[in-house]
Amino acid sequence: MTSPSLSNLVRQPVLFGFDNSYARLPERFYSRTNPVPVAAPRLIKINVELAHKLGLNPEALASAEGIEILSGNQVATGSEPIALAYAGHQFGHFVPQLGDGRANLLGEVVGCDASRYDIQLKGSGPTPFSRRGDGRAALGPVLREYIVSEAMHSLGVPTTRALAAVTTGEEVFRESVLPGAVLTRVAASHLRVGTFQYFAARNDVEGLQILADYAIGRHYPEAAQAKQPYQTLLKSVVGRQARLIAQWTLLGFIHGVMNTDNSSIFGETIDYGPCAFMEAYDPDKVFSSIDRQGRYSYSNQPHAAHWNLTRLAEALLPILEQEAGSQEAALASAYEALETFATQYETTRLTGLRHKLGLFTEQEGDEALAQDLLDRMAANRADFTLTFRRLCDAAAQPHGDAGVRNLFADPAAFDAWAAGWRRRLEAEPLSGEARTAAMRLANPAFIPRNHVVEAALDAAIERQDFQPFEELLSVTSHPYEDRPHLERYATPARPEESVTQTFCGT
Ligand code: AMP
Ligand code: MG
């Protein structure tokens, strides 16, 4: 649904059916702030499938009233806009107050799956947390978040999602003058590691406890029955984050800004800034222009996540102490929870790697086999996504090797590995078509490749042409299906198209 003319035809009231549990928490958790109206909103996109999942009417969202709401010009019935308070470690430096400086939580809805979702406007104007920022978002980053978050969802990775995007008819001033836009983001919640740090930094133990109880009630209700609910909360977050980061690495995804304020308590991928999928496999890969030390490089991501979770554990210490009985016991409790990260991460990663190689049983040498392939890919600059996708064909028949070996600077490096792989495959009960089909579900054909994303953003920004954005969305919404006529979306950038750096653009 992209036709703005629809908005004139349809007269359906926009009914969100908000139930705003966060706005019922104490006032110090947020600031009650309305979105700041914009000059001339225009609809770019409504996510019809997501609207239905949330029990919302996509036609109503695309109506004149809907666009007013999605741009922040009108406050929807039942909405209680708030900007959330949080702190965070940014590249290792603690900032005791960050908060939603350019976002408003409109409210929460309970979707058709009985789960609760936050509906947030991002880029909706200054709030008391804006510091020196203008509270706005540029069109490019809004479209990038739309594309990449929806792609992640389709790839099966926990993530916030995009319900809508509108342009504002206003300019934002970054390094250049850019069109402004507002994204409607949907999240299981906007609770971050930094939210806990906000209260811990203020020695507000009561606030911490209220927040922890809220997080348990909303995301981990089983923890309430546990002997140590707060340790169980911590363990649950550790588990979700560990599995999330493993999923990222299995897809070659680099988040780029894994600060504690961008680390979700529910374990969703959140705050898409200078994120990117790598093409040529390089474990040290960094895209973000601001990440000069490689703190958030591809292979540092599990360490970064563990570091963030350690900050969460520290923030929770006062209430872990209440439940454990002493400071020593609280520390032991925190360590015990943090220690579960490694196993959860490694297990998810190894299972995922096995599936990527077509191995659905377990053998001792599987990890070494996978690592050997990755090492050879790195040495030969092989495209991460395409190597694994073409491996599906190679698994089906030996003459399928041509496609994958060609991706290696020295194709013989693949051949030497493939011989051992074939021997290992002989021990698998699943073979032929069934194996190839199963492998295809572990190895996407389509990820949002950076040069294609950039081209889609450029067309929208420079020519108000949203067709490339639409086409890219449609391709990446079915990442595991072969679509021969869309081959150009599945192949790496030519050298002159290659994107080597990404920018926050905030
Ligand atoms: P982010 O880099 O998007 O994770 O944001 C980090 C912090 O900076 C958060 O507190 C944001 O609300 C704030 N921020 C980012 N961009 C802006 C902006 N344009 N105006 C105000 N605050 C912003
Ligand atoms: Mg953020």
Q: What letter would DSSP give residue 323? A: H
Do 333 and 268 belong to one domain?
Answer: yes
DSSP assignment of 31-94 equals EE-PPPP-SS-EEEEE-HHHHHHTT--HHHHTSHHHHHHHHTSSPPTT---EEE---EEETTEE
Instruction: Give the model's pLDDT for residue 392.
Output: 96
Q: What letter would DSSP give residue 25? A: S
Do 178 and 213 belong to one domain?
Answer: no
Contact 101 CB / ligand 1 (< 6 Å) = yes
Contact 136 CB / ligand 1 (< 6 Å) = yes
Domain termination site, one of 152, 173, 190:
190
> How many percent of the chain have pLDDT more than 90?
93
Residue closest via CA to ligand 1's atom 1 equals 271
Q: Which amino acid is at 425?
A: L
Contact 96 CB / ligand 1 (< 6 Å) = no
Count of domains in the chain? 3
268: domain range? 195-348
Region for residue 216 given its phi and psi (left: phi exceeds 0; alpha: psi -120 to 50; beta: otherwise): alpha
| Probe residue for ligand 1, chosen from 30, 192, 502, 506 as the CB with the greatest number of ligand atoms within 8 Å | 506
Nearest to 109 by CA among 146, 76, 64: 76
- Cα gap 7→12, rounded to integer Å: 10
Residue with tokens 């032929």: 432
Do 102 and 217 belong to one domain?
Answer: no
Is residue 74 a part of any domain in this protein? yes
Contact 135 CB / ligand 1 (< 6 Å) = yes
Q: Using DSSP bridges, classify how beta strands 93-95 and 88-90 pair: parallel, antiparallel or unpaired.
A: antiparallel
- Cα gap 443→441, rounded to integer Å: 6
Residue closest via CA to ligand 1's atom 23 equals 101
Ligand nearest to the CA of 503: 1
Instruction: Give the model's pLDDT for residue 503.
Output: 74
Residue with tokens 């703005």: 4
Do 182 and 116 belong to one domain?
Answer: yes
Do 387 and 299 belong to one domain?
Answer: no
Contact 134 CB / ligand 1 (< 6 Å) = yes
Instruction: Give the model's pLDDT for residue 504.
Output: 67
User: With contact defined as beta carbons under 8 Å apart, do 299 and 384 qualify?
Assistant: no
Is residue 57 a part of any domain in this protein? yes
> Which secondary-structure segment (H or E) carries 236?
helix 229-251
Residue with tokens 């190894």: 350
> Which secondary-structure segment (H or E) carries 452?
helix 450-463
Contact 130 CB / ligand 1 (< 6 Å) = yes
- Cα gap 318→326, rounded to integer Å: 10
- Cα gap 358→388, rounded to integer Å: 10
Backbone angles phi, psi at 102, to 5 degrees: -150, 35
pLDDT in tens, 367-400: 999 999 999 999 999 999 999 999 999 998 878 8
pLDDT in tens, 135-180: 999 999 999 999 999 999 999 999 999 999 999 999 999 999 999 9
Is residue 455 a part of any domain in this protein? no
Is residue 11 a part of any domain in this protein? no
Do 299 and 408 belong to one domain?
Answer: no
Q: Is 261 among the residues known to form the active site?
A: yes
Do 40 and 172 belong to one domain?
Answer: yes
DSSP assignment of 285-300 equals ---BTT-TT-TT-GGG
Helix ranges restricted to H, 252-383: 301-324, 327-357, 366-379
Do 31 and 47 belong to one domain?
Answer: yes
Domain termination site, one of 348, 368, 387:
348
Q: Which of 261, 291, 383, 393 is catalytic?
A: 261
Q: What letter would DSSP give residue 5? A: T
User: With contact defined as beta carbons under 8 Å apart, do 286 and 304 qualify?
Assistant: no
CA 412 – ligand 1 centroid, Å:
48
Helix, strand, coil % in the chain, rounded to nearest 5:
50, 15, 35
Per-residue pLDDT tens, the chain, 506 aa: give them: 555 455 455 467 899 999 999 999 999 999 999 999 999 999 999 999 999 999 999 999 999 999 999 999 999 999 999 999 999 999 999 999 999 999 999 999 999 999 999 999 999 999 999 999 999 999 999 999 999 999 999 999 999 999 999 999 999 999 999 999 999 999 999 999 999 999 999 999 999 999 999 999 999 999 999 999 999 999 999 999 999 999 999 999 999 999 999 999 999 999 999 999 999 999 999 999 999 899 999 999 999 999 999 999 999 999 999 999 999 999 999 999 999 999 999 999 999 999 999 999 999 999 999 999 999 999 999 999 999 999 999 998 878 899 999 999 999 999 999 999 999 999 999 988 999 999 999 999 999 999 999 999 999 999 999 999 999 999 999 999 999 899 999 999 988 888 888 876 65
Domain termination site, one of 348, 367, 401:
348
- Cα gap 345→489, rounded to integer Å: 30
CA 439, distance to chain mean position in Å, is 23
Is residue 65 a part of any domain in this protein? yes
CA 71 – ligand 1 centroid, Å:
18
Do 225 and 174 belong to one domain?
Answer: no
As residues whose CB is below 5 A from the ion ligand 2, the structure lists 261-262, 271
Helix ranges restricted to H, 107-185: 139-155
Ligand nearest to the CA of 102: 1
- Cα gap 302→243, rounded to integer Å: 10
Contact 260 CB / ligand 1 (< 6 Å) = no
CB atoms within 10 A of CB 437: 13
Do 331 and 435 belong to one domain?
Answer: no
CA 190 – ligand 1 centroid, Å:
14
Do 184 and 283 belong to one domain?
Answer: no
User: With contact defined as beta carbons under 8 Å apart, do 9 and 56 qualify?
Assistant: no
Do 146 and 73 belong to one domain?
Answer: yes
- Give the sign of the dihedral formed by CA 343, CA 347, CA 349, CA 353: positive
Helix ranges restricted to H, 365-425: 366-379, 384-396, 401-405, 411-425
Is residue 139 a part of any domain in this protein? yes
Ligand nearest to the CA of 270: 2
Is residue 167 a part of any domain in this protein? yes
Is residue 326 a part of any domain in this protein? yes
Nearest to 316 by CA among 235, 252, 219, 381: 235
Instruction: Give the model's pLDDT for residue 125.
Output: 98
- Cα gap 124→183, rounded to integer Å: 8
